[in-house]
C-alpha cells in the first residue's frame, strides 16, 4: 500500500469506529432508576391511591380518633395502611377495637407532650414494647424517631424495628448537599450494621423546619442517597399539597 492508500484506509477505520460507537450509544438502554418505596401521612386518599404500590405506606395518627382513622384508611388498600402512634399507651385497646385491617404500626418517638416521659427517657425499651404490641397483632413496626433519638439511640432502636423512617428534615434544611450526604450515609450505615434486615425510608419535607422548598430540590436530596435507602417518606401538610403531588410524580416517573 502506498501512503495515500494507508491514509485512506485509516480514515475508513476511524469512520467505522465512530459510527459503530454512536450506534452502540443509541442502542444502549438508559440505566434503570431504582424503584423506591413511598410513604406519607394520608391527607388526600384519592390522589395518593393512584400511585400506591406494594410496600408503600400511608399513615393516619391514632390521636385523630377511631372514626377518622377508619374513614381515611378505608380509602386505600389494606396492605398500605398504617396507624401512627406517639406512645404505646392505649394502643393495644385501640387496635382491638379497630374494624378495618391494617398492616403497620408507626411509632412517632419525639421529645414532645404526646410521647410519655418514661418513653422519652427509655427509648430503646419503649421501641421494644411497641414492637411486641405490633407483632402480637400481626403487624410490622415502623419507627420514626426524631433527630435526638436517631443520633443517640438509633442503632439500638433499629434492632427492634422492621422499618425505620429516618427523619432528615433538619439536615435537609440546614446542611449543604455534601454535608447532608455524608451525615446521612453515616447514620444509615450504622442502622444497617445494627439490623441488616432493616428497611429504611428517608424522611424529607416540603417545608423542612419551616423553610419552603421545591419538588426538584427535594429530589436532589433523594438522588444522592438513592443507593443506600429503600424508600421515601414525605412529611407535608395539606397547605403544601401541590408541591407534594409534584414530588410524588417525579418519584414515580
Distance of CA 33 to the CA centre of its chain: 16
> Has residue 160 been placed in a domain?
yes
| Confidence (pLDDT) at 19 | 47
> Has residue 25 been placed in a domain?
no
| Confidence (pLDDT) at 238 | 82
Query: Which whole-number Å values give the CA distances from 95 to 98, 101, 104, 144, 201, in the listed order?
Result: 5, 10, 11, 19, 24
Rounded to an integer, what distance in angstroms lies between the CA atom of residue 82 and that of residue 167? 17
| Confidence (pLDDT) at 30 | 44
Q: What is the pLDDT of residues 151-185, one digit of tens each?
A: 999 999 999 999 999 999 999 999 999 999 999 99
Measured from the Cβ of residue 16, the count of other Cβ atoms closer than 10 Å reads: 10
> Has residue 66 been placed in a domain?
yes
| Confidence (pLDDT) at 118 | 98
Q: How many domains does the chain have?
A: 1
| Residues of the chain above pLDDT 70, percent | 87
| Confidence (pLDDT) at 239 | 81
> Has residue 61 been placed in a domain?
yes
Could you tell me where the beta strands, DSSP code E, fall in 7-151? 37-41, 57-61, 81-85, 104-107, 140-143
| Confidence (pLDDT) at 240 | 83
93: burial class by Cβ within 10 Å (0-12, 13-18, 19+)? exposed
Q: Kindly tell me the sign of the dihedral angle through the C-alpha atoms of 107, 252, 228, 80.
A: positive
Rounded to an integer, what distance in angstroms lies between the CA atom of residue 253 and that of residue 251? 6
Q: Which residues pair with 38 in a beta bridge?
A: 232
Residue 88 cell numbers, joined: 404505646
CATH of the domain at 190: 3.20.20.60
Rounded to an integer, what distance in angstroms lies between the CA atom of residue 204 and that of residue 197? 22
> Has residue 247 been placed in a domain?
yes
Residue pair 120/142 in contact (Cβ under 8 Å)? The answer is no
Q: Domain range spanning residue 82? A: 33-251
Residue pair 147/129 in contact (Cβ under 8 Å)? The answer is no
pLDDT above 80 (res 66): yes
pLDDT above 50 (res 26): no
> Has residue 235 been placed in a domain?
yes
Rounded to an integer, what distance in angstroms lies between the CA atom of residue 136 and that of residue 97? 15
Per DSSP, the three-state class of 250 is helix
Q: What is the pLDDT of residues 95-142, one digit of tens each?
A: 999 999 999 999 999 999 999 999 999 999 999 999 999 999 999 999
Measured from the Cβ of residue 74, the count of other Cβ atoms closer than 10 Å reads: 13
Mean pLDDT for 199-208 is: 97
Q: What is the 3-state secondary structure (H, E, C) of 184-206?
A: HHHHHHHHHHHCCCCEEEEEEEC
Q: What is the pLDDT of residues 35-62, one digit of tens each?
A: 899 999 999 999 999 999 999 999 999 9
| Confidence (pLDDT) at 54 | 96
Amino acid at each position: 500500500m502506498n501512503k495515500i492508500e494507508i491514509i485512506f484506509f485509516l480514515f475508513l477505520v476511524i469512520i467505522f469506529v465512530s459510527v459503530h460507537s454512536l450506534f452502540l450509544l443509541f442502542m444502549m438502554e438508559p440505566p434503570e432508576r431504582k424503584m423506591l418505596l413511598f410513604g406519607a401521612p394520608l391527607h388526600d386518599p384519592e390522589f395518593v391511591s393512584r400511585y400506591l404500590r406494594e410496600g408503600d405506606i400511608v399513615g393516619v395518627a391514632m390521636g385523630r380518633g377511631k372514626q377518622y382513622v377508619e374513614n381515611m384508611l378505608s380509602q386505600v388498600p389494606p396492605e398500605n395502611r398504617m396507624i401512627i402512634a406517639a406512645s404505646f399507651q392505649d394502643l393495644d385497646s385501640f387496635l382491638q377495637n379497630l374494624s378495618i385491617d391494617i398492616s403497620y404500626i408507626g411509632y412517632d418517638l419525639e421529645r414532645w407532650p404526646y410521647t410519655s416521659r418514661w418513653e422519652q427517657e427509655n427509648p430503646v425499651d419503649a421501641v421494644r414494647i411497641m414492637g411486641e404490641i405490633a407483632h402480637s397483632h400481626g403487624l410490622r413496626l415502623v419507627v420514626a424517631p426524631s433527630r435526638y433519638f436517631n443520633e443517640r439511640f438509633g442503632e439500638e432502636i433499629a434492632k427492634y424495628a422492621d422499618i425505620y423512617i429516618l427523619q432528615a428534615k433538619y439536615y435537609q434544611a440546614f446542611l449543604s448537599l455534601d454535608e447532608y450526604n455524608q451525615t446521612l450515609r453515616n447514620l444509615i450505615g450504622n442502622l444497617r450494621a445494627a439490623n441488616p434486615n432493616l428497611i429504611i425510608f428517608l424522611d424529607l419535607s416540603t417545608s423542612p423546619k419551616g423553610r419552603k422548598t421545591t419538588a426538584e430540590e427535594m429530589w436532589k436530596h433523594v438522588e444522592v442517597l438513592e443507593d443506600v435507602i429503600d424508600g421515601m417518606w414525605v412529611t407535608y401538610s395539606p397547605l403544601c399539597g401541590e408541591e407534594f403531588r409534584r414530588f410524588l410524580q417525579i418519584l414515580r416517573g
